[in-house]
Every structure is written in C-alpha cells, then in structure tokens.
Amino acid sequence: MLNLSHRNIPIAIIGGGIHGCAVASRILREIPSAANHVVILDRNPQPLLAWRRKTESQGMAFLRSPAVHHIGSDSLGLVEYARTQNRTAELAPPYSQPSVDLFLDFSFHEIETQQLGQLYHQFDVAKLRWDKGSGKFPFRIISKVNEGFRAACVILAIGTDDCTHVPSELDLFIRRFPKLILHSSAFDLHKTIQRVTPSKIVILGGGLTAATLAKNLTDIDVEVVMIVRRSLKIQQFDFEPSWLGPKALNRFSKESDWDKRRKMVRQARGEGSVTPEIAEALTKARSDGKLHLRTGVNIRQIDGDSFLQVKTAESTINDVDLVVLATGFRFDLHRYRFLSDLTEQHKIRTLRGLPILDNRLQLLPVRNLFGSGVMAQLEIGPAAGNIAGISLAYERMREKVLAAIPKPHSGYKHR
Ligand SMILES: Cc1cc2nc3c(=O)[nH]c(=O)nc-3n(C[C@H](O)[C@H](O)[C@H](O)COP(=O)(O)OP(=O)(O)OC[C@H]3O[C@@H](n4cnc5c(N)ncnc54)[C@H](O)[C@@H]3O)c2cc1C
C-alpha cells in the first residue's frame, strides 16, 4: 500500500463501510485499471469494521434485506456465492435474507476479488478543503495525524455513526447517570454480559435494534422492559420495496419542495419497525414472562443510585440495571467536524442537517464532491441509507466520477 502523502489522487472515497466499498467495487468492475486512481479512506483498520461491530454488539444474526442487495454489482452474486460454498441454508425465507456471516464472507470475497484492500487506507479525515480554481486536484484531504494529499473528486460515504439521536427530554438523565443510560451504539451485548450480569434492562425504542437487543437479552434470561412511544410496527423491510422502482422514485424527484421530500422519506420509513420473525420471538419472550412491552408511553423521569427507577405516565419500573436508548441516528452534516469549514465557506445548503444535493449527488457549489448513503436521502429517497441505495446512488454519480479517471482507459463507455 502506497503512502498517500503529497500525492494527487483522482478519486478519494471517505468511508470504507458498505457504501464506500461498494462504490469502489463498481468503479473497478467498469474500469479495472482505475485501481491506481482510487483510494478508500476510513478511520478503522479494516473495511466494514464499523458495521461488523454493530451487528456483533447487537447479536444480529440475519440481515433484514434480501440477498440481492450487497456490495457487489451482480445482484445474484451473493446467492451464487452461497451456492458454491454450500451455504444456501444461510439464506432465510421468505426473501433469502442472508446471515450476517454469509453477507460478510461474501463482502470480503468481493473485496479480495476486486483487490479493494490495496485501495484501503486507515486514515481518519480531520479536514476537507476545496480550493476552487486550483487546477485538476482542487480537494485537499488532511488526516488527524496531519498526513495530506490532493484529490480531483471526493465521495462522502460516511454513514451516520457520528449522529446518534437521543430525545432531548432524556439529556438531563444521561448527564446524571452516564454509566447507566447508554445509546444503543455504545451498548455491547457480549461485553455487558461479561462485565456484569444485569437482571433488568429497560430498552427505549420500537425499531429492529431495540427488538433484536430485547430478544437476545431475554434469551440469556435478562428481564427486559421495552418502552415504545407508539405501537410496535411489524413489517419485513425498512420501507416498501416500491421505493426502489421508477414509479415511486419519479414521483419523489418531481417533488420540488425539499421539506416535502424529507417528510415523504420519514413517512415511508416510519419511526422504525420490527420484522415478523423478531416479532414472533418477542411474543414468545412475553409469554415466558421475560419481556414486558409498554407501548404508547414515553420515559418521564429517571431516578436512582446504583439501580435506576424509570417512570412513565403509567407506571414505575424499579431495580433497573441499565437503560438502553435504541433511538437511532439522524444524519446532520454539521456534526461532521472535518466538513465544517468547507460547508461554511461554500455555504452548502442543508435542510435540518441533510445536504441538498444536485441530481448527480454533488454538494454544490462544490463540484465533484458527492454524497452517498443516508446523506443522499433528499435525492435518493427512503432507500438511500440502505444497501439497496448503493446502486441508485452510483447510477447518479457514475458518469462524473468516472470522468475523473485519467484517460486513456479501456472498458468505460459513456451510457
Ligand atoms: C445492525 C445493523 C443492521 C443493518 N441491517 C441492514 C440490512 O439488513 N439491510 C440494509 O439495507 N441496511 C441495513 N442496515 C443499514 C446499514 O447500516 C446500511 O445499509 C450500511 O451499513 C450503510 O453503510 P455506509 O457505508 O453508508 O455506513 P457505515 O457502514 O457506517 O460506514 C461509514 C464509514 O465511514 C467511516 N467514516 C466516517 N467518518 C469518517 C472520517 N472522518 N474519516 C474516516 N472515516 C470515516 C466510518 O468509520 C465507517 O466505516 C443495518 C444497520 C445496522 C446498524
């Protein structure tokens, strides 16, 4: 792996998660010689590590999405891989959802086949600058250890990890009990159980993270009280699959009011939902008396000392070891400090933290700076942050991104 310092690199992808790796994989499938012209930067030492840790810390066994959505560009690639490895039993009915292990093994197979490891650099981006008019490589990317290089085109694939969402009414309690009230991103099922054996945990949230944690904790005999603001919504996917088709997407892109688009995304995704399989496990845990479900209520007060007392409008839950806030993430561009000078200097438009991108996913007026993943939701719609959103995003930025690769190169044809 070459040192990046002082080099001029055509394409820099910030984020080596599913989106970043998938975009790199697609570029290389189209132009294999582009390997010398693309880098993937991530603060973690290995690709996909952030996502792998999240699934492990929740004890998630299967993906929610079907096997056709993965980091490669051939939709049947994962199913074919499962077949050749004799692992089709790891494709769950009814939609062939892959096990997390199978998904990761296939992802690493794709990373190896495409030699993406050679493009991958552990590099924690501390600053991104755009020096307009400074030639072919206007971006300057600087790491936390002051390593720096220039790029012609930058793709932001930074996920939402820096944007944990905690309802503001709970701030006070978190400050009072920082070790006993955790956001789910800071909760590790295995480590918590190793350190202490909690006997009662309150989980706030009604999405798949909350439900998966509740299932896995009750499986090891922890008593769980799940507090859900609304009723528990049961559905297979995060959003209706029609959001991947032209009809819904055309309707979405015809909407010129950004706030209406934001609301369409919110409405399509709701406030989180639970798959039928996990819902069934929760029903069993309830009938075994290990899980108590409180719906239509919110936490009003938390008191305590070494144990907590959690109050809702309806009841008080005593002797609580831990409160886990499975309250999700809300993307906010302003929370990414490495982008703050750039967004301020070039007045990048946002709506409630979401960047307003052009139809090529550029953060105008900065040209050739693209946003992929959750941050592209005002253009891509409800699927933006999911694995299925990768192909939709790549199609939008493809032509401009590939144009950054020095010619001559073979294989790439303008569509
Ligand atoms: C437990 C869990 C299960 C899920 N299951 C599904 C599913 O079944 N189907 C589905 O479609 N979606 C699922 N999702 C949603 C899923 O997270 C996304 O589909 C996918 O992980 C998003 O990938 P990403 O690359 O955008 O973000 P991430 O995977 O979060 O990757 C972003 C990367 O950017 C890096 N980064 C950020 N800032 C910097 C910086 N300044 N410098 C360097 N690197 C930086 C981070 O280290 C990280 O590696 C799931 C999410 C979770 C948490």
> What is the average per-residue pLDDT within 106-124?
96
What single string gives the DSSP state of each residue in 329-381? Answer: B---GGG-GGGHHHHHHTT--EETTEE---TT-B-TTSTTEEE-GGGGHHHH-
Give percent of the chain with pLDDT exceeding 90. Answer: 89
Span of 152-156, 175-179, 192-196, 200-204 with lowest mean pLDDT: 192-196
Res. 261 pLDDT band, cuts 50 70 90 = very high
Ligand 1 pocket test: which of 4, 14, 18, 154 has the largest number of ligand atoms within 8 Å of its C-beta?
Answer: 18
Amino acid at 318: N
> What is the average per-residue pLDDT within 52-80?
95
Q: Whole-angstrom Cα distance, residue 381 to residue 389?
A: 9
Structure-model confidence comparison of residues 102 and 221, the more confident one: 102
CATH 3.50.50.60 positions along the chain are 8-162+330-402, 168-233+271-325
Res. 272 pLDDT band, cuts 50 70 90 = confident
> What is the average per-residue pLDDT within 314-340?
95
User: What is the per-residue pLDDT across 294-312, written as a single tens digit (0 to 9) for each?
Assistant: 999 999 999 998 899 999 9
Position in ligand 1 atom list of the atom nearest CA 161: 30
Pocket around ligand 1 at a 6 A CB cut-off: 14-20, 41-44, 50-51, 54-55, 58, 60, 63-65, 69, 124-125, 157-159, 161, 338, 373, 385-388
CA distances from 234 to 27, 171, 286, 369, 411 (A): 37, 29, 16, 38, 45
pLDDT at site 409:
56
pLDDT at site 114:
92
Averaged pLDDT of the chain: 94
Res. 190 pLDDT band, cuts 50 70 90 = confident
Atom 35 of ligand 1, residue of closest alpha carbon: 15
- Which residues partner with 225 through β-bridges? 202, 292
pLDDT at site 413:
54
In angstroms, what is the C-alpha Rg of the chain? 22
> What is the average per-residue pLDDT within 167-171?
93
Q: Which two tokens stand for residue 100?
A: 């997390």
Res. 1 pLDDT band, cuts 50 70 90 = low
Span of 195-204, 262-271, 308-317 with lowest mean pLDDT: 195-204
Q: Would you call the peptide bond into 408 cis, given omega within 30 degrees of 0 as the criterion?
A: yes
pLDDT at site 196:
65
Res. 271 pLDDT band, cuts 50 70 90 = confident
Compute the distance from residue 100 Cα to the ligand 1 centre, in Å. Answer: 14
Ligand 1 pocket test: which of 14, 51, 53 has the largest number of ligand atoms within 8 Å of its C-beta?
Answer: 51
Q: Whole-angstrom Cα distance, residue 395 to residue 373?
A: 13
User: What is the per-residue pLDDT across 344-356, written as a single tens digit (0 to 9) for each?
Assistant: 999 999 999 999 9
Q: Whole-angstrom Cα distance, residue 162 to residue 141?
A: 19
Compute the distance from residue 163 Cα to the ligand 1 centre, in Å. Answer: 12
Whether the pLDDT of residue 247 is over 70: the answer is yes
Are the C-beta atoms of 181 and 170 separated by less than 8 Å?
yes
pLDDT at site 329:
95
Q: What is the pTM of this model?
A: 0.95
8-162+330-402 CATH? 3.50.50.60
Res. 254 pLDDT band, cuts 50 70 90 = very high
pLDDT at site 314:
87
Q: Would you call the peptide bond into 355 cis, given omega within 30 degrees of 0 as the criterion?
A: no
Closest CA to 40 of 12, 60, 68, 61: 12
Give percent of the chain with pLDDT exceeding 70. Answer: 97
Compute the distance from residue 373 Cα to the ligand 1 centre, in Å. Answer: 8
pLDDT at site 270:
85
Are the C-beta atoms of 148 and 6 separated by less than 8 Å?
yes
Pure H helices in 49-99 = 49-58, 77-84
Structure-model confidence comparison of residues 328 and 191, the more confident one: 328
- Which residues partner with 350 through β-bridges? 355
Q: Whole-angstrom Cα distance, residue 107 to residue 91?
A: 15
Which residues lie closer than 8 Å to 52 by C-beta, 6 or more apart?
104
Closest CA to 111 of 120, 123, 100, 98: 120
pLDDT at site 306:
85
pLDDT at site 365:
96
Are the C-beta atoms of 210 and 183 separated by less than 8 Å?
no
User: What is the per-residue pLDDT across 374-415, written as a single tens digit (0 to 9) for each?
Assistant: 999 999 999 999 999 999 999 999 999 999 999 865 455 545
CATH number (3.30.56.10, 3.50.50.60, 3.40.630.30, 3.30.930.10) of 168-233+271-325 reads 3.50.50.60
DSSP E strands, 125-264: 125-130, 139-143, 148-156, 181-183, 200-204, 223-228
- Which residues partner with 14 through β-bridges? 41, 156
> What is the average per-residue pLDDT within 259-274?
93
